[in-house]
Amino acid sequence: MNKDLLKAVLADYRIEIPKHLVIPRDFSFEEFGNYVLVGIRRAGKSYLLYQRIHELLASGTGWDEILYINFEDERLEGMTSADLNLLIEIHLETYGKQPILFLDEIQNIDGWEKFARRLADSKYRVYITGSNAKMLSKEILSTLGGRYIEVNVYPYDFKEFLKVKNIKITPDTFIATQLRSELQRVFNDYFRFGGFPEGASLNSKRDYLSSVYQKIYLGDIATRHKIDNTFALRVLFKKVAESVKQPMSFTRLANIVSSTGVKVGKATVINYMEYAKDAWLINAVQNIAGKLVDKETNPKYYFTDNGILNLFLLDSDTSLLENIVAMSLIREYGREDSVYFYNHGVEVDFYIPDNETAIQVSYSLSDAETFEREIHALIKMSSVLPCRRLLVITRDEEDILNIDGKTIEVIPIWKWLLR
């Protein structure tokens, strides 16, 4: 890698980053922690780095102590792990000071983890981002040796989205007609088009979301994993989107894709789904009542952002409602072994063992048959698993029900997201 080229790239970032308008997210970095930020493409990982750089600059730290580089910069094509130490050399030659390093989208450099480990061992402060979950596999975590704090970064939650839209929540927001209407209008936007930070202020949101999805589907999945059969991949993701509320086995998915005329085997589908999870496109939720094999092979899948899910759907409201609840829970409690559904005689949409909460998601309880099915399932499950709190999340309805000695809260989604 040409040293003069690297000098020019670093200099460009020193000029560009202070110009970015950064809306601070609800996250505080520990003063002397090293961080690895991972998540779906365009979730705002780079802007969290910009946020931290702006904080350092505001506190008096100068660029002579900061080094930022984005490894998706096309000028860095061909850079290898052997070139990474040039960054340190250039900074020391220029300023004579040990920098705080911000290494953006580092998964593009094979072998980056050994460099990151050496930096931590040498007492550098380091902030790293990446879009591929494999960069935090057990092997890489072992190499990093516990020297980095892992942070999962998601698109905006509803509170952050309201902040971007300059809407403040007060006691009057829920009762005053004009304020409540404005809240509902902004929620409808968030509900259908999701929370990608760059898309929040755009008018043509669907075009932006299509662009993001294409980059994930073609770049982070197909190109990265050398998949030639992109038609099968596209059909697979469409079917997963259409089946968001249902458990989907690998065998069933393979049969569905094969029925379109493109033969794929179960092993191929398993690989494709793992690639999609690695790219943070989808997230799996397992049946807490299922046996081990069933848990692994028959989960429900949810999309990391409602906006991308909505690209696939026509009659989308019920699927979007369950998806937004799933991702709010995953964001709060974790991506692995924290959020489940229950399916054993009756089905309950979500169960959180940590706080013993069972949740049904129902667009409306006004239909008597729907009311009976959803409430009966909650009550029956609460006699099998410990349940301190029973919830039904709806689109707009709100109530407190007392049935068979159980208290069930009915709460509209927009209010629940503001909890």
CA–CA distance, 176 with 369 (Å, rounded to integer): 33
Task: Find, among 217, 196, 114, 115, the residue nearest to 153 by Cα.
Answer: 196
DSSP-derived letter for residue 177 is H
Secondary structure (DSSP) of 212-247: HHHIIIIIIIIITTT---HHHHHHHHHHHHHTTTS-
CA–CA distance, 7 with 20 (Å, rounded to integer): 21
pLDDT at 292: 85
Q: Are 34 and 148 in contact (CB under 8 A)?
A: yes
pLDDT at 92: 97
Chain centroid offset of residue 51 CA: 19
CA–CA distance, 92 with 124 (Å, rounded to integer): 13
Token pair for residue 152?
A: 């999962």
Token pair for residue 155?
A: 């698109």
CA–CA distance, 410 with 412 (Å, rounded to integer): 7
Q: In degrees to the nearest 10, what's the CA dihedral of 373, 339, 414, 172?
A: 110
Secondary structure (DSSP) of 234-287: HHHHHHHHHTTTS---HHHHHHHHHTTT----HHHHHHHHHHHHHTTSEEEEEE
Q: Are 325 and 358 in contact (CB under 8 A)?
A: no
Domain borders along the chain are: 3-152, 157-312
Q: Are 189 and 164 in contact (CB under 8 A)?
A: no
Q: In degrees to the nearest 10, what's the CA dihedral of 350, 356, 362, 363?
A: -100
Task: Find, among 284, 248, 285, 292, the residue nearest to 359 by Cα.
Answer: 285
Regions of the chain with pLDDT less than 50 = none
In the three-class reduction of DSSP (H, G, I as helix; E, B as strand; rest coil), residue 122 is classed as coil
Long-range Cβ contacts of 309-318 (<8 Å, 24+ apart):
309/194, 309/241, 309/244, 310/192, 310/193, 310/194, 310/209, 311/206, 311/209, 311/210, 311/213, 311/241, 312/237, 312/238, 312/241, 312/242, 313/241, 313/242, 316/192, 317/363, 317/395, 318/245, 318/363
Token pair for residue 207?
A: 């075009």
CA–CA distance, 311 with 190 (Å, rounded to integer): 14
The CATH number of the structural domain formed by 3-152 is 3.40.50.300
CA–CA distance, 392 with 57 (Å, rounded to integer): 46
- CA geometry: angle at 279 spanning 276 and 283, to 5°? 60
pLDDT at 377: 98
pLDDT at 52: 96
Mean pLDDT of the residues in the chain: 95
Q: Are 29 and 35 in contact (CB under 8 A)?
A: yes
Strand (E) positions, 91-200?
A: 100-104, 126-130, 149-152
Percent of the chain with pLDDT over 70: 100
Task: Find, among 190, 173, 191, the residue nearest to 182 by Cα.
Answer: 173
pLDDT at 113: 94
CA–CA distance, 95 with 75 (Å, rounded to integer): 23
